[in-house]
Structure 1
Amino acid sequence: MKGGFGRLPGFRSIRGKLMAAVVVCVLAPALLTLLLFSSLAEDAVQRQAIANAENAMKLTGASIETQLGDMLTIANHIQLNPDMTGYFKRYVRFGSEQPDPVGKFAAGSRILQQLESLSAVGDRSYISILLTDGTVFTNYSTDEFHPRRFREEAWFGELQSFIGLQSYWIPTSPTVFLYEKKNSPYQLSVARTLRLDDSTIYGYVVVTTMESRLRVQFEKVAQERRVLLVDEEGTVLSGPELSDIGSAQLARVRPADAGVPASVVVREDGGKRLVTEMRLGINGWSLVSVQPYKEAIANISQIFNRVFLAQLLLFVAMLALLVGIIRRLTYPLVHLGKAASAVQRGNLEMRTGVRGPDEIGRLGILFDQMLDRVQDMIREISAGQARKRLAELAMLQAQINPHFLFNVLNSIRMKVLRSGDADSAKMISSLSRLLRMTISREEAAITLHEEIELLRHYVELMNLRQKEGADLVLDIDADAFLVPVPRFILQPLVENALLHGLSRSGGTVRVEARLEAGGARLLLRVEDDGAGMDEPSLEGLRRRLEEPRPQEASAAEASIGLSNVGERMRLMYGEGFAIEADSSPGRGTSVTMRVPLPAARPAEGTIAAKRQMTKGEREDG
């Protein structure tokens, strides 16, 4: 990329280019190294975060399986204990044989004692035994909940197909025990069938525990990760919040083997999350852990971040050192550049003062010597120009003073007036004022008031020259009188009206001036009621006004002056100026100009022009 740095404002100097080269050659490899390290570290951090999450999941799973296993232990004891099953079978036979009240009471007492002893296994569990003859045994008061209501549940019908040690796990449901509802609104249950040797069902066992006992385990790890217990369909059975129960857990991993956690990093609206799932071997339910990925890698990534930061700081320090050395070495060049800029602004007294045995020191010496030579040449040229101005001044002083000419004309006017020739005196007076406006004035612009005064004298002279006189009618807004306009901008238009429109029959020349667009534009219009012109002549005039060209030698002077007006105004005002002409035979001709005005018009030139005109009028008078 040739010249790439040179196109940037900050890299046009030698110092900037050297610094850019250092940044590219030193910082680029450093950044590539850091990016490679960051990429490799990210993979290692992710693997470690997954391993930590899966180890934590195993611990949580062991705790949950222990609690669910306690429920199975109770069910196994009831189902496999020969004493209890013997009592159950004997109790059921009492229903079909002649009852033995003493034996029945003794069997019932033995069953209740066994249930009380089982209540001590693990956490508090509610045990319900329903026999087919309608007899029930519980370790709780049936006034609180009667186990016969289990027969009304939808899952009770599915329980009929379970044999042997097969267990039916009942998902989370509202607590039926009034005493527990306040602390644990939900419960979990497992149910089994009690069968005779011929597989005939003679009873059912239901072991119930409170969901809150599982929730305690999830709350312990809630600060690190969010762990949920879900069934095969993904419905939440337990979690750290009651509001989680019954909702659907969308992010799943579904590991192939029970007891072996599996993890995946997923992207959600809130960012990346680490999802870990482990299927419980006890009942097919799963534990799902959802943790923000940033939190999962926070502790691990701190070490990598510190190493990364240390490397980055080292690179920055080395880069700053190199930049400082370059600034020191290139300081003379920067000083030379500032000196050259000062010379460019006109300060020829500036000297670099850069000295040294190397190339830069030699360049400073030659630069100072060059400035000395330039100053000598300027002094020589200035002296020659001064002598030339003195010679021109002497030549001008030898010319006739214009005021002498005005005084002579004024004396002639007074003498002619005393002799009684008022018309000749008036012509001399108008001529004197016209000469004063054209010869003695140096301003490029005058006020509209002065331009109108010049027109008045010009029309008086033309009326004395032509056989048929013309009337000058002025329609000037008061606000437009002091607007500055170019000199002789209206005179060519009036001259064109007198020579072409009113030369044979006389008539009226009307001059109109007013401000438009809130004072942003000046309208000037000169119109006559003379002969007018036909359409071809009007089109020719319009072309000359829009695209003025050099006139032929035979063209009339007034036509040339009219074309020059448009050209002068466009040069001064640009595209904002507009001029247009309109005419018809027998109805006269009008020329309209629209002149853009600056936002603020100078007042000092206007006042000075008025004072000079007043002084001239006093001299003429």
Structure 2
Amino acid sequence: MKRADKIRPVSLRYKLIISSILCLLLPAAITLTVSNLNTKSVVKQHAVDNALGTLEVMDRYIVNTVNKMLYVSNFIQFDSEIQSIIRGKWNDNRLNSEEQFVVNYFNTKKITEKLDNISFPGEKTRITILLKDGTAYSNISQLDYDPQHFFQEPWFKQLAPIPSFSTYWIGTHPSYLAEDKDEGRYFITIANTIKSFSSEPYGYLIVSLSEEQISAIFPENNTNNEHMLLDSKGTILSHPDKSRIGQSFLHFDKLEDESSPSIIKVDKEDYMLLNRKLSISDWILVSMVPYQEAISQINTVQGTNFILQGLFFAVFLLILVALMRQFTKPVFKLSRAVSQVEAGNLQFRTHIQGDDELGRLGQSFDQMLDRIEDMIQQITLEQTGKRKAELEMLQAQINPHFLFNVLNSIRLRIKLKGDEENAALISSLSSLLRMTINRNNEFIALHEEVETVAHYFKLMNFRTSEPITIHINIEPEVASVDIPRFVLQPILENSLIHGFRDYSGSISILAQKQDEHLFIQIGDTGRGMEAKELAQLHGHLTSIESSRKEELKRGLSGIGLKNVFERLRLIYGEHFHYQLASKPGQGTVITLEIPLKSGEKHA
């Protein structure tokens, strides 16, 4: 802590020195950055143009080769003779085994001849038509492979859901021909489903092409560059090095936009990574070009960098000196003014003039000091008035306390004379007056509010010849819940005034917890209300117009029924709900629903 206290705040002059250093270093950094960016831009553009030209040629060749595979696939699917034969094979069960053998022999011969004829010269395309019953038609001798092995391939299950005439790209896989397996050759294969009019697959078309027909266009692997064909997941489909096929391209996540090559490091050497997405599928052509080899052809002139650095140094230094002279004086004036105000001298003023930012800042600072002095005087007057008001409030509290003490003395004297009934009445009156006059707390526990209501009923029954019975049923877990003061008393008072007229009855209070809400139900056995009268009461409770003058004409607390509902809506907002139910001759029931969060506002 002592070491921290010794650290002084950085002065403005020191900040300007730091700024000057930054201003001197910034031109050099800008110059070097611009120069490097220009150099890299030229180098990249030169290398990218060459690589993109190579990728474009490869793209055209691969697209042309794959289009031939698609042509073969489409030709077979739309050839009426081939479709008639395989559809007849699927449906025809009428021939005996000998006749069916002869028909199948000639049909197989026809299809095989067609498959041989649609293969392009120099590009041996392996074609297999496989039916669900295991029957196969192919331009490959079945001595070299078993067509039914396709049923066991992991990709075969993916064919059934695809629509008719849609192509499933299987990608690169080891050759399924016996003569190719020892040589480590690969095929690139596509597949289609052959479906009936009811969309049920009854056959499959598999077209394969040797991977060597694609990798033949790649330059042989050397120290200069590298080309390959990837699928959408980064798996190598074609590469001059056969051992790389099927492996994941380690820098697949570095592939960016085709027009934006990225720089990667392979064996401590930088490479430019370019890619081109084929238009026929999700395949990607990738080219890796050595970066150092590309930039060795370009040697831009660097001598201009030193000239630019010297020029920027001189210009920024002159600007800095001018700015320091211009800004230092007014800032120091403001600093002195702040020190004076901190010392308690509120009469000090900066008197800074000018239309710039510092001039306006000085004038605003002076105006702020003027307002602070005015506010101090105003606060002093307000505090004096507040103390006078507090004194008057303390004096006003003398009369209520005097009244409570006198009532308690009278109650004790009457009780000593044996008049327990009148002593109880005076006790109820004293408690009721204390709760009515003491309104400092906005909220009160539910059981205290109920006690106030009980005292009120004792006094009201004393006044009337027909007593009203009150039944209280409060669950223990909600007895201590805080509710707004004077919520129940005005409702019960309203029931006494309007529900009972010179005849006895009963009023019940039920309080219970339901789903984090407090439900209070006040019911009476009074005269009840007609539907029209009930609607008028509901409209009165929900109307915006105030009826404060009418409610103050009578009642113990001066709080009417409408006031109670307005207070509950203000406190709880949309979380407060109520219900009114009444029938002539059967009484009225009012139900209140408020959240079980004591003393919190929910509006």
* TM-score, normalised relative to structure 2: 0.47
Which one has a bigger Cα radius of gyration? 1
* TM-score, normalised relative to structure 1: 0.45
